[in-house]
Amino acid sequence: MKLIHKFKSLNFDKRNIKEISFVIIHYTALPSIENSIEYLCQKSNRVSCHYIIGQNGRIYNLVDEKYRAWHAGQSSWLSEKDLNSASIGIELDYSPNHNNNKFSSSLMNSLILLLMYLTKKYKIDKRNILGHSDIAPYRKKDPGVKFPWKKLYNLNLSYNPKKVKLSSIKKIRLWFEKYRIYSNKNKILIMLNIIGYDISKSTNSKYFYKILINKYRSHYFQNKSYKKSNPELIDFIEAHFCSLLLTKT
C-alpha cells in the first residue's frame, strides 16, 4: 500500500491520551480530490483528516496518525464524546452532486487495504468502523446511502448483525413487557442507544427520530423500501441488539 505524503494539513492537535479504537469514514462532498485536499489543508477551515482516498485509488496522508485530526466534530458513540482523539478519519473523494458520484472500484480497493492496515495496527474492533452519520446522525449524512458497506462486511471489516435465535429475541421482548415499554418508538430508541447512537434529540421529536432512523438504515439496513410502520426494520434492530449483546458476552 503506497501512501502519498506530498500534502499536509495544519489542522490538528495532540490526542487526549486515548487509544485509537475507531475508524470514521467520510465523503468530501467536493467536486475533485484537488479541491478536497486544498480545503482540508487550509488552516482557516479548521477541518482535516488523516487520510483521503481519490477516485483513482491514490491514498494521501494529510495528518500523522499520532495526532488528533479534526474530522468528527461534535459527535458521540456509546460513552465516547471525543472521537477525534480516539479515531482515524478517512475522507473519500465522493460527492453526490458532482462527477465523482460513484464509489469506484479503485477507491474501494484502496479503502479496504487501508482498513486492513489500520485494524491490524491498532486492533480496532469491526464494530468501531463507522460512518460520520453514525456518530453525528443529526448533522451528517456521509458516507451516504450508496456507500457499499456490504463489501466491508464480506471482508470482516465492518459489523454485520448476525442472525440470532428466536429465544434470545423473545427474552428482549419479555424484558420490554416487564417494564411496560410497549411503544415501538421507545423500544427502538433504547436499542439504538445501547448499540451506540445518540438518541438525545429523538426522544421528543418526530422530525429528529425520522432522521435517526434513516441514518441507521443508511448503514445497516440499506436497499430496503421505507414504510411508515416497518415491522421488518424493528425485527432487524432487535436482531442487531441481541447479536451485539451476545458478542459482548
Which active-site residues does the annotation give?
Answer: 91
Cβ contact 61:5 at 8 Å: yes
